[in-house]
């Protein structure tokens, strides 16, 4: 009878032990997948943009638009089994094949404007990495929380880009550009722990 009671006690503890095991396995590992193609340029602190990165062809023959930069910050969540860590990738890159500039509009200010847009994407990417590392995901279904974080972050990014464009008058206000450059550099430094070196 004593043996029977011990077995019964163990069986009641199994679900709790399994939950503890699954929770321990919800560790988040941040990764960066290989570049999507040869035209992808990851954000790097030692690799600022140059006009040579704008390799696309202008779609506006009227020259009414000076340039366009194509930036992305894709993210993904993966897991081989319930007992392995959650792998999350989030990164910022420029698609050089879809970014272009009208030659007559090239200027230091316009290049800086585009660099700061790229910096905004990188800052939001680092904030996402920071949040993912500190988030407790449901061990059985992490996707809803992951999507919630991504959707909220994208709204913040779009609002900030709108503010940047307004305050710099699309890059024409040199003083405003300088202020934004200073602020974004401060934020990049503040989030340096979440930079992925040499992706």
pTM, 2 dp: 0.84
d(CA 103, CA 84): 51
Give the alpha-carbon dihedral of 84, 127, 192, 26, to 10 degrees: -10
d(CA 146, CA 135): 9
In angstroms, what CA-CA distances link 192 with 21, 121, 123, 129?
Answer: 32, 14, 10, 11
Mean pLDDT of the chain: 86
The per-residue pLDDT for range 69-87, each reduced to its tens digit, is 999 999 999 876 777 888 9
The per-residue pLDDT for range 77-136, each reduced to its tens digit, is 987 677 788 899 999 999 999 999 999 999 999 999 999 999 999 999 999 999 999 999
Residue 125 — φ and ψ, nearest 5°? -65, -45
Give me the residue label for tokens 């081989």. Answer: 80
């Amino acid at each position: 009878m004593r043996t029977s009671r011990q077995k019964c006690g163990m069986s009641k503890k199994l679900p709790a032990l399994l939950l503890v095991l699954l929770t321990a396995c919800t560790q988040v590992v941040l990764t960066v997948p290989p570049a999507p193609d040869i035209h992808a340029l990851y954000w790097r602190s030692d690799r600022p943009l140059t006009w040579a990165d704008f390799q696309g062809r202008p779609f506006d023959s009227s020259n009414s638009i000076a340039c366009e930069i194509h930036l992305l910050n894709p993210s993904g969540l993966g897991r081989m089994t319930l007992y392995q860590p959650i792998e999350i990738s989030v990164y910022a890159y420029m698609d050089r094949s879809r970014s272009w500039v009208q030659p007559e509009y090239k200027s230091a200010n316009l290049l800086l404007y585009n660099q700061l847009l790229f910096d905004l994407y990188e800052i939001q990417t680092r904030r996402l990495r920071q949040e993912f590392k500190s988030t407790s995901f449901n061990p059985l279904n992490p996707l809803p929380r992951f999507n919630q974080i991504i959707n909220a972050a994208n709204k913040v990014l779009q609002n900030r880009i709108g503010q940047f464009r307004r305050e710099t008058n699309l890059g024409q206000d040199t003083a405003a550009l300088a202020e934004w450059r200073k602020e974004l550099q401060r934020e990049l430094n503040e989030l340096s722990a979440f930079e992925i070196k040499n992706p």
